[in-house]
Structure 1
Amino acid sequence: MPKPASLRETTQAWEALFNAQVTIMRRLQRHPAFKKLTMREYDVLVTLGKCPIGGIRLGALNENVLLSQPSLSRMVDRLEAKGFVSRCGDPADQRAVLLTLTDEGRSIQRQIGREHVRHIHELLGSGLDAEEFAELTRLTRKLGAAVQARD
C-alpha cells in the first residue's frame, strides 16, 4: 500500500504546480492572440462552446470558470455587446436565461484557439517528453477527481 504524502510533501507539490501555472499563464496571456479577447473572455467562450445545444445558465457557467458571479455577469454583458454571446429563455423554466455562443463567437473562439494551442505547444512542448506529458495528464486528472469527490 502506498505511503500517504506528508503535509510538507503536499505543500511542496502544490507550490510547484501553482508556480508553474502562474509562470505559464503569464507567458500565454502575452501572446498576440489575446489582444482580440482577454484570456478570461476566451475561457468563457471555450466553456460555452462545450455546452449542450440550447445553452447553459449563468450559474452553471460560473461553476466552470474562475470568475466571481458579478464579474462573470459583466463579462457576459460585454461579450453579448460584441456579438459573441446570445441569451434566450430556457424552455424548461421561463424564469431562467440560457447563454449560447453566436456564430461570430464560435468563429473568434476557434480562431484564437488555433493560435493558442500552437503557442502552448511552442512554449511547453520541449519541456517534457511524450511519456512525461502523459504522466502529468494522468496525475493532474487524478488530483482533480480526488478533490471533486470531496464535494
Structure 2
Amino acid sequence: MSPPPSDRLDAPVSSARLTAESWEALFRAQVTLLRRFADDDVWDPITMREYDVLFTLSRCPDARARLRELNRESLLSQPSLSRMVERLDAAGYVAREPDPVDRRGTVVVLTEAGAQMQRRIGQRHAASIRRYFGPALDDEELRTLQQLCDKLRLAQEDIADS
C-alpha cells in the first residue's frame, strides 16, 4: 500500500493549492492575451465585445439565440448585453424577433451585414491569434489546451451551484 499523497516526496503540497495555482495561471494567461487582443487595431468599426456577440451568434444553429443563451456565453451582465444588442440592432448587425417557440421571448438573429462584419473582423482577429499563440505553443500543445479548456467548461454543467 502506498503512503497518502501528502506523505510522498513527489506529491504536490496539496491538491487545493495546485488547483488554485492552476486557476491563477489560466486566469493570468487569459488576462494577458485579452489585453493584447484589446490593443489590436482589428476591431474597427465595432468593439471586441460586440464582435464576441456576433461571433457567438455565428456559431449558433441558424445564427440565432435567445438573449439568455447569449448571456451564458459572454462575460457581460444581462443589462449590458441587452443594451449591446440594441446597439447592434440599430447598426443592422442583428435583428430581434419573437421566439417562434415562446412568443413572450425574443430571439437575436445575426443579419447578413452582421455575418459579413463578423467574418471580416474574424479574419483579422485570427491573424492576431496566430501571432500570439503560434510562437508560444506547438500543435500538440494547442490540441491539449483545447481539450482541457473544453473539459473545464463542460464540467461546470455537472457541478452544483452553492
Do these two structures clear the TM 0.5 threshold for a shared fold by scoring above it? Answer: yes
The one-character-per-residue Cα deviations of 1:38-69 (angstroms, maximum 9, x if unpaired) are 11111101111122227221112111111100
Change (3 A) 1:144 1:93: closer
Give ranges in structure 1 of 5+ residues lacking alignment. Answer: none
Cα shift at 1:148: 2.4
Cross-structure match for 1:109: 118
| Structure 2 CA distance for aligned equivalents of residues 20 and 54 of structure 1 | 30
| Structure 1 CA distance for aligned equivalents of residues 90 and 153 of structure 2 | 34
Cross-structure match for 2:34: 25
The one-character-per-residue Cα deviations of 1:64-93 (angstroms, maximum 9, x if unpaired) are 111100000000001011110101122222
For residue 132 of structure 2, the aligned residue among 116, 123, 129 is 123
CA contact (8 A) 1:79 1:85 kept: yes
Give ranges in structure 2 of 5+ residues lacking alignment. Answer: 6-11
Larger radius of gyration: 2
Cross-structure match for 2:104: 95
Cross-structure match for 2:19: 10
Q: Secondary structure at the match of 1:32?
A: coil
Change (3 A) 1:39 1:113: same
| Structure 1 CA distance for aligned equivalents of residues 48 and 116 of structure 2 | 16
Cα shift at 1:31: 1.1
Change (3 A) 1:14 1:73: same
Cross-structure match for 2:157: 148
Q: Secondary structure at the match of 2:18?
A: helix
TM-score of the superposed pair, with normalisation by structure 1: 0.91
State how many pairs are aligned.
149
CA contact (8 A) 1:54 1:98 kept: no
| Structure 2 CA distance for aligned equivalents of residues 74 and 19 of structure 1 | 29
| Structure 2 CA distance for aligned equivalents of residues 79 and 24 of structure 1 | 25
Cα shift at 1:132: 1.4
The one-character-per-residue Cα deviations of 1:7-29 (angstroms, maximum 9, x if unpaired) are 11011111111001000010011
Q: Secondary structure at the match of 2:150?
A: helix
Cross-structure match for 2:75: 66
| Structure 1 CA distance for aligned equivalents of residues 26 and 64 of structure 2 | 33
For residue 78 of structure 1, the aligned residue among 73, 84, 87 is 87
> Residues 47-62 of structure 1: matches in 2 within 5 Å?
47-53=56-62, 55-62=64-71
Asked which structure has the greater RCO (Cα within 8 Å, sep 6+), the reply is: 1
CA contact (8 A) 2:63 2:110 kept: no
CA contact (8 A) 1:88 1:99 kept: yes
